[in-house]
Structure 1
Amino acid sequence: MTKLLVKQNCLFWLLRPLSWVYGLITDVRNWLFDKELFAGYAPDTFSVSVGNLTVGGTGKTPMTEYLIKRQVLTVDTGSPETATLSRGYGRQTKGFREAGPADTAATIGDEPLQLYRKFGPRVRVFVGERRAPAIQRIQASYPAIRRILLDDAYQHRAVRPHLNVLLMDYNRPFYTDHPFPAGRLRERRHGARRADCVVVTKCPIDLPESDTQPIREAVSRYTRTGTPVFFAGLHYGRPVSFATGQPADYLREVVLVSGLASADPLEQYVRQTYSLKAHIRYADHRVYTRSDIDSFRRALTPGVALLTTEKDWVKLDALLTPGERDALSLYYLPVELVFLGDDGRAFNRFVTDASLKFR
């Protein structure tokens, strides 16, 4: 065993008692909500919660985008019938707010801004720390809204959604993890019992069916009987130019910039697809500055392009002058969630059935 593994193992056991305490606190909190000693608000509008048991990096935004596309691109016409609501992590504002043309990552957060720039005005995008009052305001202001997608709301027990979609990273299954701080869980594993379905994200696109059964069995030890488990991966599109908004025909050498909770799958894809000169990693929800732009410019030697994520693009683009945007080779990499095999059709039927039961 290497010194690093010994150090990690010692640290785990040192932190384990704190994990027990943290897990106990979350157990008590969940019990109070389960017994309705703490009130939970049931919206009058069909609501879907997208969340996880772990801290960050399970693909909540691609899942939310999938649900948006499922409705907006096939059903919704005229006035928006779909709304998204999130806390707006990292924003410098407080309270309830609807996204508009003048908003930035500083006013609504990077992920809500990404959704607004991609889907507005066909979808209404809202942020608000207190979800229950926020939902009530949405319902009162926009009676035409027929569904509300709640981003990262699995632990937000003050709202009782009609459908709880629990995400699990294929590379970091919750059933082998532990509560914070010894592990990455926000609550104990049995919190999965609140899930109406589990979507295993970031799977290899060519994952054999035979490899999914052991995962289903492991997940089922913590979920309610009959809770379906679906499998999905990530599909990266062609890089899109900051300057033109058009896909690039060809990129070869790139410097990757990312501010993600889990950037390893992205780096692996970029290494396989392009000549990766460097990967500049930041913590999730990085607040970029002009000094970051200056350091990126120095890294872009002739023939090398900067490649980043959509979430990072909406923040970096706001810092650029028109001249810089036109002169520099800057691109973002679109990503979308894709279900494996027939799981897409099965998941769509599951969501449709849930919405019909609500009606």
Structure 2
Amino acid sequence: MQTLRKLLFPFTILYTFITSIRNGLYFIGILKRTSFTTPTIVVGNLSVGGTGKTPMVEYLIRLLKDQYTLTTLSRGYKRKSKGFILANAQSNMEDLGDEPYQYHYKFDNIGVAVDSNRVNGIHTILSEKKETEVVLLDDAFQHLAVKAGFYILLTTYDEPYYKDFVLPTGNLRESRSGAKRANIIIITKCPKSLTKENQQDIREKLNLKTGQLSFFTYIEFSKLVYSKCDEIQVDLLNHEEYILVAGIAKPQSFFDHLNGHLTRCLTFPDHHNFTTSDIENILTLAEKKKIITTEKDYVRLKDLIPSDKLYYLPIQTSFINDNELFDKTILNYVGTSTRDS
């Protein structure tokens, strides 16, 4: 596979040229960019999937939701609806897509909207939900038609963008220079023990521009797994067999965290829509064992697998250090940008 990707390097040059021309047309004003007086925060990446956008958006929700009225806006990948949707009590995963539905299912008192046209999505949010004071845009770093007020770029510790190449040779959606648009660059999925010396070495490789900040985060796993009606300490799972199911971009850390010597791991593509055949196979393999999945997969599986068999493991983003500076930077941007600041 790696050999094939190297052979496709001429297409990488072409793809890089095309995306650079497109970006340039936005920056010189030939293609229109729309800005908004309402604070808009983009969370995104340069690479394809698996950088931890969902837990980062959830971190921002927790940071802001008690002080500001906020609405998240996502594309709603693989949803079965079209156009703009603002979540309500009747909304389901098929209407919103798995990640927006997770926000809607998990957090009270926030708005959740989906629209592949982010400019239209923001305009409609501010029209239909006038009390919105902050818009969080999930996975919109390449959507240059929106000129957001603040950009957060994520890149993983194991596969940082400065070591990667543009598609199809690598996994980047655009050239590395796109990182210059970010206000903050976060290196995600780090070892919790990453030293300050290691952090400084990475910062030097990021080649930060003046004013850019960088932070280092790790994935913190819950000490409990949950079902609709039960919870179990992860430590106690070592005493029984169970099945692990994951349909996310990079599931290995989930498997590693829970994998016992008798555990069977079932892997599906990212954002997988589970079929009747998939469910039958999972239940057959599980027999009387518990089925444990990721939080994102749980919203797709919770109505398909008996509630007494299906559990999920929550995760969240945690900062190795300097989380106070990160929080202050975000709160300062929102506080100086809102109408009532």
Query: 3-state SS of the aligned residue for 2:81?
Result: coil
Residues of 1 paired with 2:211 and 2:37: CA distance?
26
Query: 3-state SS of the aligned residue for 1:325?
Result: coil
Partner of 1:226: 211
- The C-alpha deviation readout for 1:82-133, integer Å capped at 9, x for no partner, is 100000001011100011232222211000010000013x101000011111
Offset at 1:294? 1.4
Amino acid corresponding to residue 37 of structure 2 in structure 1: D
Q: Which of 285, 288, 298 is 2:271 aligned to? A: 285
Q: Which of 19, 25, 39 is 2:12 aligned to? A: 19
Query: 3-state SS of the aligned residue for 1:297?
Result: helix
Residues of 1 paired with 2:92 and 2:336: CA distance?
38
Partner of 1:75: 67
Q: Which of 14, 19, 30 is 1:37 aligned to? A: 30
Q: Which of 242, 247, 252 is 1:259 aligned to? A: 247
- The C-alpha deviation readout for 1:148-183, integer Å capped at 9, x for no partner, is 000000000010110000001111100010000110
Query: 3-state SS of the aligned residue for 2:278?
Result: helix
Partner of 2:183: 196
Contact 2:37 2:337 in 1 (8 A): no
Amino acid corresponding to residue 192 of structure 1 in structure 2: A
Residues of 2 paired with 1:335 and 1:19: CA distance?
35
Partner of 1:28: 21
The TM-score, its normalising length taken from structure 1, stands at 0.89
Contact 1:241 1:332 in 2 (8 A): yes
Inter-CA distance 61–181: structure 2 relative to 1 (3 Å threshold): same
Q: Which of 106, 115, 118 is 1:118 aligned to? A: 106
Partner of 2:81: 93
Following superposition of structure 1 onto structure 2, how do residues 46-195 of structure 1 map, counting pairs within 5 Å? 46-72=39-65, 74-76=66-68, 81-120=69-108, 122-195=109-182
Give the aligned CA root-mean-square deviation in angstroms: 1.5
Contact 1:91 1:108 in 2 (8 A): yes
Inter-CA distance 338–186: structure 2 relative to 1 (3 Å threshold): same
Residues of 1 paired with 2:219 and 2:63: CA distance?
16
Offset at 1:58? 0.3
Contact 1:239 1:331 in 2 (8 A): no
Residues of 2 paired with 1:51 and 1:243: CA distance?
31
Amino acid corresponding to residue 325 of structure 1 in structure 2: S
- The C-alpha deviation readout for 1:31-68, integer Å capped at 9, x for no partner, is 11111111111012101000000000000000000000
Partner of 2:223: 238
Query: 3-state SS of the aligned residue for 1:308?
Result: strand
Unmatched 5+ stretches in structure 1? 1-6
Offset at 1:275? 4.3
Residues of 2 paired with 1:44 and 1:148: CA distance?
11
Count the aligned residue pairs. Answer: 334
Contact 1:235 1:337 in 2 (8 A): yes
Contact 1:270 1:276 in 2 (8 A): no
Q: Which of 247, 255, 258 is 1:270 aligned to? A: 258
Partner of 1:216: 203
Residues of 1 paired with 2:313 and 2:75: CA distance?
25
Residues of 1 paired with 2:250 and 2:43: CA distance?
18
Partner of 1:311: 296
Offset at 1:301? 4.0
1:339 and 2:327 aligned: no
Amino acid corresponding to residue 132 of structure 2 in structure 1: I
- The C-alpha deviation readout for 1:195-228, integer Å capped at 9, x for no partner, is 01101111111111111111111112xx422311
Unmatched 5+ stretches in structure 2? none
Residues of 2 paired with 1:278 and 1:26: CA distance?
42
Amino acid corresponding to residue 67 of structure 2 in structure 1: V
1:352 and 2:331 aligned: yes
Residues of 2 paired with 1:98 and 1:356: CA distance?
25
Offset at 1:349? 1.1
Query: 3-state SS of the aligned residue for 2:200?
Result: helix
Residues of 1 paired with 2:261 and 2:111: CA distance?
39
Runs of 4+ in 1 over 6 A off after TM superposition: none
Offset at 1:14? 1.0
Partner of 1:247: 231
Query: 3-state SS of the aligned residue for 1:172?
Result: coil
Query: 3-state SS of the aligned residue for 2:231?
Result: coil
Amino acid corresponding to residue 319 of structure 2 in structure 1: F
Residues of 2 paired with 1:211 and 1:225: CA distance?
21
Residues of 1 paired with 2:257 and 2:213: CA distance?
29
Contact 2:295 2:314 in 1 (8 A): yes
Amino acid corresponding to residue 287 of structure 1 in structure 2: N
